[in-house]
């Protein structure tokens, strides 16, 4: 029977040490996400996969909020984040910084996630949209690529925290970034 690992065996670092660890050149952009629980989940996953920062845009809740903290389990303290009044402002700044703007959305001519490849060294901004409306059309219009996660059931979308986790894992796995 398998025995669960102790906290010591998991080799976790503290918040100060985490901030010094080399991060993946990936920024997650939340486009008017409503749910504090979704935001907290994105923070927690971003911490797990060494994402460099999160951009919280528009109506997206910002820490400190009880529900964010409850779901993030403190990752809102370890993962860098910034607030932007609009997602378009965040995306325009990221473009100026040399990021590939990658909206996760079901659009004509989207790239299937299994075909999505990023050049080594390319900085990537993953844009995730509102729980009901998705990524705003104005942001889709300025995106460099739209990526679609293949789905085969009766539903046409996944919760944004699930999408975020899938995309962050994909970027981490393809990055070649070794575990610290």
- For 31-57, the pLDDT digits (tens) are 999 999 999 999 999 999 999 999 999
Task: Provide the pLDDT confidence category of residue 174 given band limits of 50, 70 and 90.
Answer: confident
Question: Which fold would CATH assign to domain 20-175?
Answer: Alpha/beta knot (3.40.1280)
CA atoms within 13 Å, Cβ hemisphere of 90: 28
Query: Can you say whether the dihedral through the CA atoms of 33, 135, 105, 169 is positive or negative?
Result: negative
pLDDT band at 122 (very low <50, low <70, confident <90, very high): very high
pLDDT at 98: 97
Domain ranges of the chain: 20-175
- Give the separation between CA 140 and CA 135, rounded to whole angstroms: 7
pLDDT at 180 (0 to 100): 42
**The pLDDT of residue 30 is above 50:** yes
What is the pLDDT averaged over residues 50-78?
97
């Amino acid at each position: 029977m398998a025995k669960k690992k102790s906290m010591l065996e998991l080799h976790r670092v503290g918040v100060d040490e985490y901030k010094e660890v080399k991060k993946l050149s990936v920024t997650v952009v939340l486009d008017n996400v409503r749910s504090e629980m979704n935001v907290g989940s994105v923070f927690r996953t971003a911490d797990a996969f060494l994402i460099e920062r999160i951009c919280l845009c528009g109506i997206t809740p910002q820490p400190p909020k009880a529900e964010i903290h409850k779901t993030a389990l403190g990752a809102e303290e370890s993962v860098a984040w910034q607030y932007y009044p609009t997602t378009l402002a965040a995306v325009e700044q990221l473009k100026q910084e040399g990021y590939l703007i990658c909206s996760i959305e079901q659009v004509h001519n989207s790239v299937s996630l299994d075909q999505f490849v990023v050049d080594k060294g390319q900085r990537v901004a993953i844009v995730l949209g509102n729980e009901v409306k998705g990524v705003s059309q104005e942001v889709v219009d300025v995106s460099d690529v739209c990526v679609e996660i293949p789905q085969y059931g009766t539903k046409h979308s996944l919760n944004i925290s699930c999408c975020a986790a899938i995309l962050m894992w994909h970027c981490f796995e393809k990055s070649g970034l070794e575990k610290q």
